[in-house]
Amino acid sequence: MWSGDGDIPLSLRVGHGNEVHYAMFGILMADFHKQWQIDALFVADAALYTEDNLQMIVSLRWVSRVTATLTAAK
């Protein structure tokens, strides 16, 4: 994760080779918010848009593109 003003790195996590990246977005965002406790706007790609992730970040501000496979997106 990095800041929007100057692209300053704020957090980094190296994942395991077998780890599914979209499964970690909600966890990373929730953990980051607990550590920093700032009113941040999280911006993520479509991999964020899963039911599990959305449940983890319900209290956070975020924006993401939804996956094109969703009926509503079509």
pLDDT for residue 71 is more than 80: no
What domain range includes position 60? 21-64
Which has the closest alpha carbon to 29: 42, 18, 19, 39? 42
In a domain, 2, yes or no: no
In a domain, 56, yes or no: yes
Residue appearing with tokens 């996956």: 67
Q: Are 33 and 27 in contact (CB under 8 A)?
A: no
In a domain, 31, yes or no: yes
Q: What is the pLDDT of residues 4-46, one digit of tens each?
A: 876 788 888 887 777 787 888 888 899 989 998 888 899 888 8
Domain count, the chain: 1
Give the DSSP per-residue string, 56-68.
HTTTSEEEEPPPT
In a domain, 49, yes or no: yes
In a domain, 29, yes or no: yes
pLDDT for residue 73 is more than 80: no
User: Does the pTM exceed 0.85?
Assistant: no
Residue appearing with tokens 């509503």: 72
In a domain, 74, yes or no: no
- What is d(CA 47, CA 41) in angstroms, rounded to the nearest whole number? 17
